[in-house]
Each structure stands twice: as C-alpha cells, then as structure tokens.
Amino acid sequence: MLTREEKTDIIKTYGKSATNTGLSEAQIAIFTTRINKLTDHLRIMKKDYSTQTALIRLVGKRRSLLNYLHHKDITRYRKIIAELGIRK
C-alpha cells in the first residue's frame, strides 16, 4: 500500500501538476511502484495467492494504459518506459 506522501510525490513528478491524477503517466508510475512493492512481498511470502492475483491485475491495468499511451502519443510512451525502466 502506498502512503499519501509517496503518492503525491509520484503525481508531482509524473503529472503536470500536483493534483493531476488522471494523467496516464502518473497512473502508470503509481501502478509501477505498487507492482514493485507487491513483487518484493511475493519474494518473501511465496504462497500469498491473493497478492499474486492482485499483482496480475495491476500488471494488466498498467499494460492497457501503456497500450493506450502507445497509440495516443509514442514519444510520451517511450519517455515513460525509459524513466520507469519498464520492458515491453
């Protein structure tokens, strides 16, 4: 779970303003940090299947946002991929 401070820092970094939570880059960055935290948790707790299901759902949501951004604006897509270190 992300704290409010972590989430606002991510939105300030990737959104155009501090309150622009609907921007695709901000949502992708939030999903990526949540995915990283869940992945670390699953390395320790290997049999936590509810977390595994949540991780798969988050990856799917992030993938659909990345596909949308890829079709909408390829330069923004490439920039966010490079900044977050996501591989296709």
29 has a pLDDT exceeding 80: yes
Judged against a pLDDT cut of 80, whether residue 30 lies above it is answered with yes
Give the CA-trace dihedral at 76, 82, 85, 88, to 10 degrees: 70
pLDDT score at 87: 86
CB 12 within 8 A of CB 18: yes
Q: Domains of the chain, with CATH numbers?
A: 4-84 (1.10.287.10)
Q: pTM of the entire structure?
A: 0.92
